[in-house]
Structure 1
Amino acid sequence: MNMRRKMLGGLGAAALTPPLLMHTLDPKAVPVLPGASDQTAYFPNSIFTTHEGRKVRFYDDLVKDRIVIINMLLITCRDGICPLMTANLRAVQKALGNRVGKDIFMYSMTINPEYDTDFMLKSYAETFDVGKGWSFLTGPKSDTELIRRKLGFFSLDPAIDKDPLQHTGMVRIGNDKLNRWCMMPGMLSARQIAYAVANLS
């Protein structure tokens, strides 16, 4: 946990400098994956289930041509970062107003799909009174791991990376249509995160 906090502290400072965070996901840099909607899709069309019980394709249904805010979570999070970050993202949702569910969409994906079923995620979402445009996702472990790494939610240290309790507390923000992406700590102020989202529009 101490290593994660040190990493978050450093990233917190970097998050205030957008040019250091903004980048593109180059589809030519990775092989085309089975299930991708076309030859240029960076993300696969893995099937996930929302907290409302809907089956969705990750790229075509959730990301394609959209502005997205994505984080990973663990319902059984022991150090409290997940509920704190979820509450903060709820404030971000409020700050963005009716754009969420219209041209901005929020996704929280569990890193423990064996336990965090759609029913469990529904109860979790209701606890935070999440509004429209925000889906909590669960799916096969292999697909979850693939998406996690594609989004950059991993540590270069294998020992840390394989420990689900060492999740980083970061959020990935992207505009798929413009292929512009950034990452920042999920505990930055709602105003700062909303500002980053607006800059990707």
Structure 2
Amino acid sequence: MSNSSTKLVILDRDGVINEDRDDYVKSADEWVPLPGSLEAIALLNQAGYQIAIATNQSGLARGYFTISELHAMHSKMEKLLQPLGGNIDSIFFCPHSDAHACDCRKPAPGLMKEIALRYKKTDSTQPLLGVPIVGDSLRDLQAGAVLGASPHLVLTGKGQKTLDQGGLPEGTQIHADLMAFATTLLDNHH
């Protein structure tokens, strides 16, 4: 059971950690954390969880921003997390648009498979069994649920719309926001 040693939480980015924008988050200036989201990440870190982010960033393929601008957004996130004692362990992103028909754009499970490999989750059929995956859209949850991850919908970003549309993976838990998810997760483990 080597995979129980790593306590892992997988987060979507836009609409979960930071404000989502209909015109894409295109720069560090436009990357604005949602209230309490960075504190929630720090709380999870302090409880021994590693945080992996899995995010579709088709704005890259569409030419809305460059890879260096994407890195600048993530540097800003790290800088804001540091004084809180928070840290993102890894960031996996899909740079493609739907037209590429890649395996990494959620709801395809490619990013989740990469995360499973990175964290040595080796069960071949359900490598992410029991790992919480937090998102605000159906595709976030589907991508992880197919590998056994435990789906959590936050109502920030597109979350309320996603909830209203229904069709969530079986067992999806609903939380007001990332802090509500974090406190629920930690309460359940104490």
* TM-score calculated relative to the size of structure 1: 0.40
* TM-score calculated relative to the size of structure 2: 0.42
| More relative contact order, 1 or 2 (CA 8 Å, 6+ apart) | 1
